[in-house]
Amino acid sequence: MVFLPYRVDVVTLFPEFFLAPLTIGLLGRALTRGIAQVNLVNPRDFSTDKHRRVDDEPYGGGVGMVLKPEPIFAAVESLPRRERHQVILLTPQGETLNQALVQSLAASYDQLVLICGHYEGVDERVSYLADREISLGDFVLTGGEIPALALINGVVRLLPGTVGKAASLATESFAEGLLDYPQYTRPPVFRGWAVPEVLLSGHHGDIAAWRRDQQQERTRTRRPDLWATWQQNQGQ
């Protein structure tokens, strides 16, 4: 059986935006080792306009320009498709990206096609290309490139072989619906702030219990929305 890297195709007017981030850190190493591959596609290359225009004025009037459907459709339809693929439109109107969604995308698909909007948005008919729409949060950015990069990072780091110690993924923030516990390293005292004694005790059971308590307390006080969901999932 031939191994195929997890494939991500990004339809973007600004492919240069991704060049540096895709070469550094865990993400860069994962791509170098063939765990994943990222293919950048510029819809300008599919424009039939002699000026390579990809936008036009919105029907009904309004400020700004809207991305035309033809170049985006042509760009997406030019791509090879794996059986387990998902086409995603990055838009403020989409479902909010979270860890559960990232885990699902990493486990359920072998290919993601990410469409990055820009200007005042994309022609509504582009949504017919997408299997789902995803947003980074309730705020507006200049385009879909930042959400696309965040999604790529979140998915690729979950792929087998990307993170050296896979067990660390099971205890990080949001893995079980809770925030992460506090982390400390040397020195034991810094500017009067001491590392909690339990972490110096060497008693693994006590340390595990302390960390669990800290996760719950942090989530309860800092993210009551997550806390309520976690309690509901626990049947409390």
What are the residue boundaries of the structural domains of the chain, listed by start? 6-156, 171-233
Q: For 178-216, write each residue's pLDDT tens digit.
A: 999 999 999 999 999 999 999 999 999 999 999 999 999
The pair of three-digit structure tokens given for residue 213, joined into one six-digit string: 């308590």
pTM: 0.89
Q: Which two tokens stand for residue 91?
A: 């838009």
Is a pLDDT exceeding 80 seen at residue 69?
yes
pLDDT at 165: 57
Q: In the predicted model, what is the mean pLDDT of residues 93-120?
A: 95
Phi-psi region of 64 (alpha: psi -120 to 50; beta: other; left: phi over 0): left
User: Would you call 194 helix, strand, or coil by DSSP?
Assistant: strand
Coil/strand/helix, residue 10 = strand
Tell me the average pLDDT of the chain: 93
Q: Which residue has the higher pLDDT, 71 or 2?
A: 71
Nearest to 87 by CA among 143, 129, 144, 150: 129
Region 6-156: CATH code: 3.40.1280.10
User: What is the token pair recorded at 127?
Assistant: 């949504």
One DSSP character per residue, 97-165 reads: P-HHHHHHHHHH-SEEEEEE-BTT-B-GGGGGG-SEEEESSSS--SBSHHHHHHHHHHHHTTSTTTSS-
Q: 171-233 is classed in which CATH architecture?
A: Orthogonal Bundle (1.10)
